[in-house]
A and B are shown apart, each in its own frame.
Chain A
Amino acid sequence: MTLQTLQTSLAIPEIFLASMACLTLVAGLYIGRNRADEICFWLATGTLLATAGLIIGSFSQGSETAFNGLFVDDPMADLLKIAICVLSAIVFIYSRHYNMARSLFQSEYHVLGLFAVCGMLVMTSANHLLVLYLGLELMSLCLYAMVAFYRDDRLAVESAMKYFVLGALASSVLLYGMSLLYGLTGTLSLPEIHRATGSLDQENLGLILAVVLIVVSLAFKLGAVPFHMWVPDVYQGSPTSTTAFIAAAPKIAAFAMIMRLLIGGLEELHGIWQQMLIILALLSVAAGNIIAIAQDNLKRMLAYSTISHMGFFLFGILTADAAGYGASLFYVLVYATMSCAAFGLILILSDKDFESDRLEDLKGLGKKSPWVGLLLLIMMFSMAGVPPTAGFFAKLSVIHSLVNAGLVWVAVLAVLLAVVGAYYYLRIIKLVYFDEPEDSREISPTPAVRTVITINVLSIVLILPWIGSLFAMCHEVILMLAY
């Protein structure tokens, strides 16, 4: 085996990121405590942006494999990786102030973040069940630790425990599904599984069981109903900086995982998983939107909103055609951007002894701080899917793909549930704009954070003239997949 067949160059961004993560870890240990945190923050943020830059520089034009077929680099992976790195860097910038006030601003926190991103990148490029699992676990373990990082907080520890136990359970279910699949096909390579499953009898009970186990574990990881129980607890219990981290980039990684596993590996079996996904998606959108209405904690409400968004995102996948995958890809990119901005706003509104995670905390924000109020307004309308925001086009694209696939009844239900969803977003706008402020806390984000959040939120509206190109890009990278 020569280095030539390894094609190491394809994995340079991941290698760079992992080395920098180790370097940051070491730097954190050897530089004086008081300066280390600051330096590691800049190292971590810089590394993420540099990794994004490396990927942009080597954006692939077609599908290539490395490490003897374990690792695949294609345009879809590159697009997703860029989004993962950039959004994670943005979350670091948002959480700086919040973490400092809670003594979470430590070098280890950012190192964990870097390793989690590394895991996501590996998942995104996985071409083999073991590599996929490796990336998934690298990401998950880091995330568990990031939730538990706020160890003085009872809720954080509790949610870390829940997250870990349920996450481990989901991983074991996934492994079980994978092992059955290996038994049936005799291979762990996703393209070979793809070829092998085509000739298998679809009534085979073992095969159905394998698909069911895999879909269940994916639903766990995504937080689709009825496997969503951990989502609200983790979102609420984690320090908001970690919630923001979990809410943005890992959703993109989850999309990659579904694409590699369900589409890359098991597309031939869509007859088996399609119906499961319809039920999961509809339940998620329904339960997410309805339960969100009853919440008075902002983070918890956004958790239920995430569940419903994951449902919407599954609508594109379940059509089992390229147009649908493109729509889902578009949806997940838009959603991760929105989610990043929404939690960024909560982070900005919080300070030392104030979490700003109750809905009442938003009262009169439009008056206290018109600019932040306006940004939140745009966010909420975008999350609700009201034009003229990218959120609308994301919903439009998945509903479009549903109608395209002949699932008009699913589309009608999805649309009706979106109206239910609009209510709780409107309620936030009501608090922000129609209610009088109850306190006179000053909100003064640093100019840098203010600039980043403004760009983040306004991109949701200002992308509109070019949204056609972004959409076309999503479709092209899907069409360029090797399968």
Chain B
Amino acid sequence: MDSNLLSILIWFPIVSGIIVLMTGNDRNQAVTRKLALGFSIAVFILSIPLYSGFDQTTANLQFTEHRDWIPAFNIHYSLGIDGIALPLILLTTLLTVIVVIAGWQVIRDRVAQYMAAFLIMEGFMIGVFSATDAILFYVFWEAMLIPMFLIIGIWGGPNRIYATIKFFLYTLLGSLLMLVALLYLYHATDGSFSIRDHHAVGLSLDTQILIFLAFLAAFAVKVPMFPVHTWLPDAHVEAPTGGSVILAAVMLKMGGYGFVRFSMPVAPDASHELSWLMIALSLIAVVYIALIALVQRDMKKLIAYSSISHMGFVTLGFFIFNAQGIEGGMVQMVSHGFISGALFLCVGVLYDRLHSRDIASYRGIATPMPVFAAFMVLFAMANSGLPGTSGFVGEFLVILGTFKVNPWFAAVAASTLIFGAAYTLWMIKRVVYGPVLNEQIGALADLDLRETTFLGILAALVLLVGIWPDPLLDVMHASVAHLLEHMETSKCTPACR
């Protein structure tokens, strides 16, 4: 099946970003905003045929495109998606719309550049999820850093410059090591950058371990995993709300996506060999980072640490090598996209009103803002994994999968249900409930239509995936089964496991 849909999805937002950029300085902000919203909704609508036209019964790449790009290196412009990439692309297109709405009134300075940065980034992110050529993937993977670097640096908080340079250098270092691994694979495959060829090539265990570690450097920083997670709280705290949402909801997922797309299928034996490391790091993230989240005073920081902890579940799910684990990890990624995005938006709503993210400067929000309180409690519940919300599905599947492998790991992982509930609900108790702290808070206005819209959409999705996850799970069954089957066979000769 040949179509140009993926190309359109990549380049349309980029071109529209450039058009938005050309609307110029802040003279006609209203036009800029409407244009950006129109474009982002158009991209979302364009992405729907990906789902409706997707064949769920096969693990083959769909919507493929193939063109020569740099023949001297055998680099192709080739695109295609499977059931693992599809949900993440839809997540990207949806959240970009939400981010545009969320920045509607808040961003008053250099609006055109802000909106353009998000649209261009959207194109790059879709490119990451749909590239089937390793260099094309790498180009999109790195290119995405540029808009995010600018978003944090221009519209961020007081310490934004430190945060954004740290963010950039951390990710760049990881990525460049991945680049060396990709170049090595090019030679191992006798000159191919096709990811499918990289999956198929036989490698000795030692080589696989080195490649696995190089990939780990890139993906662990992105996820982020303990102990390379320290850029994330800084970046989140300083980023504007929209930046935090995209960072948490989509950018972290690229790390997870990288593991399933590269690390596991390219180096299956090393993945098994080093699964102890991955599981250990994941469990540390789940428990230790959750404890750190507990003591945060800044709401954004708390959610940032909670993100790391939840992403620990994702990597745990991937490296126990069974269908529940991987599918659970995938669901967790999508659900975390909704929930963490929504929580950052909630904090953004409060910050726009009082210009503080300190938990201590709020109390009794429920009295002046009942609708907001309802949303925030819902998302908090989802964040702590309440059944009926999307947060539960992913965590439950991962714990179930882990239990099959090792009950003790499952027991440690399950402690997140307690810790997660502890830090989230404690924050809710302090911010939302109790007597109203002061008159300023008593006088706060509840959500307006714009804010209700974006929180409402996310709330609906959280509940939908929580109650009826099948539409999400169905698209990935075939791809996950194919991945597991692929990983069963050893790549070394003679087999090393």
Contact = CB atoms under 8 A, between A and B. Distances in A.
Interface of A: 326, 367, 370, 381, 386-388, 392-393, 396-397, 399-400, 403-404, 408, 411-412, 415-416, 418-419, 422-423, 426-427, 429-430, 433-434, 465, 467-468, 471-472, 475
Interface in B168-219: 168-169, 172-173, 176-177, 179-180, 183-184, 186-187
Nearest to A430: B161
22 contacts: A381-B146, A386-B143, A386-B146, A387-B142, A387-B143, A396-B179, A400-B186, A403-B186, A408-B184, A415-B177, A416-B173, A419-B169, A419-B176, A422-B172, A426-B168, A429-B149, A430-B161, A434-B161, A467-B69, A467-B70, A468-B72, A471-B73
Nearest to A373: B113
A460 B397 CA distance: 48
Given A467-B70, A468-B69, A433 B150 contact: yes
B112 to A, nearest CB: 9
Name the interface size band of chain B.
35 or more
A411 B183 contact: yes
Given A386-B146, A403-B180, A472-B71, A423 B169 contact: yes
B489 interface: no
7 tightest Cβ-Cβ pairs between the two chains A and B: A468-B70, A387-B139, A415-B176, A403-B183, A434-B153, A387-B142, A388-B143
Nearest to B124: A388
Contacts of B70: 393, 467-468, 471
B138 to A, nearest CB: 7
Contacts of A408: 180, 184
B176 A423 contact: no
Residue among B135, B169, B183 having the largest count of chain A Cβ atoms under 10 Å: B183
Interface of chain B, main secondary structure: helix
A415 B179 contact: yes
B138 A430 contact: no
Given A387-B139, A403-B183, A430-B153, 20 more contacts: A370-B113, A387-B138, A387-B142, A387-B143, A392-B139, A392-B142, A396-B179, A397-B73, A400-B183, A403-B186, A411-B183, A412-B177, A415-B177, A423-B169, A426-B149, A429-B153, A434-B153, A434-B161, A468-B72, A475-B72
B68 interface: yes
A416 B168 CA distance: 14
Contacts of A412: 177, 180
A475 to B, nearest CB: 5
Given A404-B187, A472-B71, A399 B179 contact: yes
B25 to A, nearest CB: 7
B124 to A, nearest CB: 8
A386 B142 contact: yes
Given A399-B179, A415-B179, A433-B150, A423 B142 contact: no
B300 interface: no
Nearest to B160: A434
Nearest to B153: A434
Interface in B405-426: none
Given A370-B25, A388-B143, A433 B154 contact: yes
Contact of A422 (B73, B75, B110, B169): B169
B461 to A, nearest CB: 32
